[in-house]
Amino acid sequence: MDTYRLQVFLECARLKNFSRAAESLHLSQPSVSLHVRGLEDWCGTRLFERRGRRVELTEAGVMLKEHAQRIIASIDSARHDVHSVLELGRGRLAIGGAGLAGTYLLPKALSMFKTMYPKLDIYMNYGPATSIERLLQEDAIELGMFSRNPRVDGLLAESYATSEMIIAAPPRHPLARRRRVSLEELAAEPFVMREPDSSGTDLVRNFFKKHGLEIKLAMEVSGHESIKVAVAEGLGITAIGRRWIENEVALRQIAVLKAPDFNLEIDHRIVQRAARPLSQAAKAFFQFLCDRRRELRRLV
């Protein structure tokens, strides 16, 4: 059906007069009557009752009015969204990422997004979660992704994907030959972990505390590459996202311990400022992440 007829119908319903509706729409009164009659034929019932010079909606007309308003509003919204996408031909998208999401997920997502909008300038900052929080507060970036709840006011976080954590050890570690390793046995081993304010370190400490255990830190380092080297050299074991050590496991430089009671996941979150509306570029990228969630979450 021609939606213009719905617009004519709504104007008649608003003004309650065909002549005034014709003036408002810059049409002749017979043309307005023809549109209304065509709509009534389509509906199979009368939509207006004449009351002198005025017209009033019938019960069917009232019902159609509600549907017509929703249809016109939906069309206007669709037009706005299309124009917004066209505006993404140029602009700037600034985001930040930490941990697994910042290393594996966001670069791939940005590469895919860039092919859709090649003229869009994209900036990404990689760093610890505290740094990404600061950049969000300073409006240097619009979206961030890291693996804990925000620790500063004014930020909103939405869960996006999870990653499995495992216990990694040197390939010749005695526990690597065991079919089952208990939490108590893990806690007795020296751990190599990230710095104290790392979200992963907090997650692991709290997990063992819930089971009445305390892990022993043998070494604290500032990056996952350093963790992998330290573990491979026999300086301790670690709790780490499985994605981090896929290559080292394949090369038999690191072993994954069989610890079924260590069931811990990393929750990756999309973070933004609560009081700041997103730009069209950031809105489009956020929607892109949501639309491709099933595909992208496999990267972490």
Mean pLDDT of the residues in the chain: 90
Task: Count Cβ atoms below 10 Å from residue 95 Cβ, excluding itself.
Answer: 28
- Proportion of the chain above pLDDT 70, given as a percent: 95
What are the tens digits of pLDDT across the range 96-144?
999 899 999 999 999 999 998 888 899 999 988 999 999 999 999 999 9
How far, in Å, are 88, 113, 124, 127 from residue 121 at the CA level?
10, 11, 10, 20
Answer for the pair 255, 168: CB distance below 8 angstroms, yes or no: yes
In three-state form (DSSP H/G/I as H, E/B as E, the rest C), the secondary structure along the chain is CCHHHHHHHHHHHHHCCHHHHHHHHCCCHHHHHHHHHHHHHHHCCCCEEEECCEEEECHHHHHHHHHHHHHHHHHHHHHHHHHHHHHCCCEEEEEEECHHHHHHHHHHHHHHHHHHCCCEEEEEEECCHHHHHHHHHCCCCCEEEECCCCCCCCEEEEEEEEEEEEEEECCCCHHHHCCCCCHHHHHCCEEEEECCCCHHHHHHHHHHHHCCCCCEEEEEECCHHHHHHHHHCCCCEEEEEHHHHHHHHHCCCCEECCCCCCCCEEEEEEEEECCCCCCHHHHHHHHHHHHCHHHHHHHC
Q: What is residue 173's predicted lDDT score, i.e. its pLDDT?
A: 95
What are the tens digits of pLDDT across the range 44-90?
999 999 888 899 999 999 999 999 998 888 887 776 655 555 555 66
Q: What is residue 85's predicted lDDT score, i.e. its pLDDT?
A: 53
Q: What is residue 89's predicted lDDT score, i.e. its pLDDT?
A: 60
Distance CA 96, CA 272 (A): 10
Q: Which domains does the chain have, with CATH numbers?
A: 3-87 (1.10.10.10), 91-160+267-299 (3.40.190.10), 163-265 (3.40.190.10)
Among residues 197, 97, 205, 194, which one has the least CA distance to residue 141? Answer: 97
User: Would you say residue 234 has pLDDT above 70?
Assistant: yes
Q: What is residue 84's predicted lDDT score, i.e. its pLDDT?
A: 58
What are the tens digits of pLDDT across the range 162-212?
999 999 999 999 999 999 999 999 999 999 998 776 777 888 999 999 999
When pLDDT is averaged across residues 157-161 and rounded to a whole number, the result is: 94
Answer for the pair 272, 278: CB distance below 8 angstroms, yes or no: yes
Which band of pLDDT confidence, cut at 50, 70 and 90, is reported for residue 92?
Answer: confident
Q: What is residue 1's predicted lDDT score, i.e. its pLDDT?
A: 55
Q: What is residue 20's predicted lDDT score, i.e. its pLDDT?
A: 93
Among residues 218, 215, 219, 197, which one has the least CA distance to residue 207? Answer: 215
111-133: b (≥16 Cβ within 10 Å) or e: eebeeebeebebeebeebbeebb
Q: What is residue 83's predicted lDDT score, i.e. its pLDDT?
A: 59
- Proportion of the chain above pLDDT 90, given as a percent: 70
